[in-house]
């Protein structure tokens, strides 16, 4: 008998509710995109100097978290998990989320992310900076250089500038609610979704031992990086969406006799 968190158990549960299983990823993606759009539209029109400092910090944190969700949605689209029933819709959402996040090329993201899965922590891994002893800043700059360059920067700057002129957006609002959350989100994604899980593993052991998972309470794991602290599970089972990673982690522990 398979434990409840094992991929086969997750698959059997999806068979019992095929309609929900087929559309769950799409509904979650639409919710994240909708919240991102609505919250960003609201805060870009806010009167910054009338906000309490704690409220200001809270709004920045929420936008950072939603930015991260946008990227995670693009990531799951790469794995075909947003809408498995229609590859075009799935890819379309990936393209939309990649562009909205930071004018990123979904095609480039997809190609390099699959290299990361095939050759983790090797010279062929675009996420790996060459040594486990490298500093966080060195690894972060290497990571950003792999996925972001002058073309997306110019594209993003032109898009934001155009929107600022059309909607008469305050430079303060753009700095506080767009630029800062984007920077913080990139740091959040890199640290909790790449640097920390892989830095604690050993290079050269292949996909089966390329990362370490962080056992955290469900809410804390969700808030930190949409459960991507369960990173070895993601590498072992890339066909499992982000919201099922905690269940998968617990199931693997039971399956391997740890609990």
**DSSP state string for 159-189:** HHHHHHHHHT--HHHHIIIIIHHHHHHHHHH
SS3 of 118, please?
helix
Task: Report pLDDT digits (tens) over 25-41.
Answer: 999 999 999 999 999 99
Q: What was the pLDDT predicted at 2? A: 40
What's the whole-number average pLDDT of the chain? 87
Residues 6+ apart with CB under 8 A from 253: 5, 259
Count Cα neighbours of 245 within 13 Å in the Cβ-side half-sphere: 30
Model-level pTM?
0.87
Sequence spans of domains, the chain: 19-207
Q: What was the pLDDT predicted at 19? A: 67
Residues of the chain falling short of pLDDT 70: 1-19, 200-209, 252-259
């Amino acid at each position: 008998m398979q434990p409840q968190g094992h991929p086969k158990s997750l698959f059997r549960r999806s068979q019992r509710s095929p309609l929900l299983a087929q559309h769950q990823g799409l509904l979650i993606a639409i919710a994240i995109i909708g919240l991102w759009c609505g919250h960003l539209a609201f805060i870009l029109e806010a009167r910054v100097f009338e906000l309490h400092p704690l409220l200001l910090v809270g709004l920045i944190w929420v936008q950072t978290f939603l930015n991260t969700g946008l990227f995670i949605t693009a990531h799951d689209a790469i794995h075909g998990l947003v809408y498995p029933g229609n590859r075009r819709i799935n890819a379309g959402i990936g393209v939309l989320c990649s562009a909205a996040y930071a004018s990123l090329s979904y095609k480039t993201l997809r190609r390099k992310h699959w290299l990361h899965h095939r050759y983790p922590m090797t010279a062929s891994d675009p996420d790996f900076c060459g040594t486990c002893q490298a500093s966080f800043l060195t690894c972060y700059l290497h990571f950003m250089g792999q996925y972001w360059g002058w073309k997306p920067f110019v594209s993003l700057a032109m898009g934001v500038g155009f929107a600022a002129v059309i909607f008469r957006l305050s430079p303060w609002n753009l700095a506080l609610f767009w630029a800062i959350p984007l920077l913080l989100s990139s740091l959040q994604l890199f640290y909790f979704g790449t640097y920390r899980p892989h830095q604690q593993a050993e290079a050269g052991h292949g996909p089966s031992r390329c990362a370490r998972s962080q056992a955290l309470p469900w809410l804390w794991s969700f808030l930190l990086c949409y459960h991507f602290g369960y990173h070895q599970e993601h590498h072992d089972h890339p066909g499992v969406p982000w919201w099922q990673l905690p269940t998968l982690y617990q199931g693997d522990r039971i399956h391997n006799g740890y609990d």
